[in-house]
Amino acid sequence: MEIHTVTSGRRDEHTRSLSGRGPDLERLRAAVGEFAGYTAADRSWERLLLATGPRIDPALPAHRRALLAWLNAWGCRIRYPRDGEHDVFCAEADAWWARWGERLPGRDAVLAGLTDTEIDLLGDCYADLSAMPAAPGARPRSLGSTAATKMLHALRPRALMPWDAAIADALHGARTADAYRAHLRLGRRWARRLLAESDLGEEALAVELGRPGRPLAKMLDDYCYLEFTAGT
């Protein structure tokens, strides 16, 4: 028991240290290079873009169905409606988009440029989305915290970092609206420091890191996934 306590304490100290400083350019380069081997994630993203191009519009039923397929490809396990069942996800996502679509940051927004006001509002947006009913059945389920951040990332890939349970719990100890706000503020701090360190814009930095076209918000998520979820 004593050995476990010491090990756990060191792990917590290590996590807090990483939370404060985040990746430098070389750590991020290593992370995105390693994550490039996770080809299934990129293929599912490409399928989503093909189904919804030139941009995702949740007001369109076909785009909502494509979002659900993409979320499930990313491990969210939201049950599809059976024949004759009400399509809960599509109906609720349509209603959520009507409430929030005009209040999200613009499509050209980037993580480093998010304002405190935008982040504060995004916490409320996330809370509403994560509580959204998502699947039919005797025990209906809500969308949940992980799927909510992934869907927000899909809608604003340059500005909004996703998370999974391991990332959220390691960095913030919770998956609440305040934790999501903290995650965006942490990512913003990391992004600004990396851009200053490199003296490059986001697109040029992605080229420099060997992942042209990849948003910095997603590259930081690649780092978080490998550090806190995969443990590499």
**What's the pLDDT tens digit per position in 103-120?**
999 999 999 999 999 999
Reference 76, options 176, 148, 169; nearest CA is 148
pTM value is 0.91
Q: What is the pLDDT of residues 165-224, one digit of tens each?
A: 999 999 999 999 999 999 999 999 999 999 999 999 999 999 999 999 999 999 999 999
CA dihedral 47, 73, 100, 189 (to 10 degrees): -100
List the single range of 11-15, 83-87, 141-145, 208-212 with lowest mean pLDDT: 11-15
DSSP string, the chain: -HHHHHHHHHHHHHHHHHHHH---HHHHHHHHHHHTT-HHHHHHHHHHHHHHTTS--TTSHHHHHHHHHHHHHTT--PPPPPTTS--HHHHHHHHHHHHHGGGSPPTT--GGG--HHHHHHHHHHHHHHHTSEEE-SSS-EE--HHHHHHHHHHHSTTT-----HHHHHHHHS--SHHHHHHHHHHHHHHHHHHHHHHT--HHHHHHHTT-TT--HHHHHHHHHIIIIIS--
**For 22-34, what is the mean pLDDT?**
96
Mean pLDDT, all residues of the chain: 91
Confidence band of 21 (pLDDT split at 50, 70, 90):
confident
